[in-house]
Amino acid sequence: MSNTKDKVVIITGASSGIGEATAKELASKGAKLVLAARREGRLQQLQKEIEKNDGKAIYKVTDVTSHEQMEELAEYALKEFGKIDVLVNNAGVMPHSFLFKKKIEDWDKMIDVNIKGVLYGIAAVLPTMREQKSGHIINLSSVAGHVVGAGSTVYAGTKFAVRAISEGLRKEEAGNNIRSTIISPGAVTSELIESITDMDLKPGIEEIYKGAIDAESIARAIAFAIEQPSDVAINEMLIRPTHQER
């Protein structure tokens, strides 16, 4: 019997890329999905596609930078499905730039989405998971959560933070049977690099992304972590394209 079947899984950033691929992968394994992002049309389309393939999915338009909206998302999952087994804190933005360009708005956005969004997600599901005495929180970090490159300074700062938060979460909640997993992808084909506005950097990054792996590669890794028996926690996975050196 699959460990994924009938698990209630909330995915933030489900409207494209890794989030969307993960939703499809988990739906095919019988999970009940709660899809979240800001673009409603995309969520509707994904829900329809999952249902067409006999999967189960509902959605709620959610901005992860709003603590209130994240609480409402968790309440919606509970109301519709009666429990929350897994949260995939996947929403993220990556507007790389050099520090001297002073793209303060981009820095704020990365801190709000990549760090605060993850914290608000944890805050929204933790009381339920503690009460259930079970749960699994999966946070998307990055190779940039391990290695800092020129131009990726602030993004890397947010992804190092995601790893620190995940490790603290693991230590705090291990006794409550709550698993935590850090997923650190290398270059993956998605809409992520579209948010880069620094034109001195963008062409170089586009070149690197020509060798990117597909989002399904990361979806399979997330599904693997979820599928493990409850006494096994896959705490961290680094997944790069084979030829990616850094």
Contact call for residue 38 and ligand NDP (CB under 6 A): yes
Figure out which of the listed residues 9, 23, 113, 222 binds ligand NDP, where binding follows CB under 6 A. Answer: 113
Between 80 and 108, CB nearer to ligand NDP:
108
Site size toward ligand NDP, by CB under 6 A: 29
Question: Least Å distance between CB 131 and ligand NDP?
Answer: 26
Closest to 180 (Cα-Cα) out of 115, 110, 88: 88
First CA to last CA distance, the chain: 39
Please pick, among 59, 76, 120, 155, the residue that the annotation labels catalytic.
Answer: 155
Instruction: Show Cβ contacts of residue 215 under 8 Å, excluding neighbours closer than 6 positions.
Output: 17, 18, 20, 21, 22, 188, 189, 190
User: Binding segment for ligand NDP among 2-10, 58-66, 75-83, 197-205 (CB under 6 A)?
Assistant: 58-66
Asked if 11 is part of the footprint of ligand NDP (rule: CB under 6 A), the reply reads: no
Asked if 155 is an active-site residue, the reply is yes
Only segment of 11-19, 121-129, 199-207, 225-233 that touches ligand NDP (CB under 6 A): 11-19
Q: Report the residue number, 187 or 225, with the smaller CB distance to ligand NDP.
A: 187
Q: In the bound complex, what is the minimum distance in angstroms from residue 99's beta carbon to ligand NDP? A: 19
Nearest-angstrom CA–CA distance, 190 and 209: 10
Sign of CA dihedral 207, 210, 214, 218: negative
Site for ligand NDP in 206-245 (CB under 6 A): none
Which residues, numbered 132-191, are part of the site for ligand NDP (CB under 6 A)? 140, 142, 185, 187-188, 190-191
| Interacting positions 64-93 with ligand NDP (CB under 6 A) | 64-65, 90-93
Q: Kindly state whether residue 17 participates in binding ligand NDP, applying the rule CB under 6 A.
A: yes
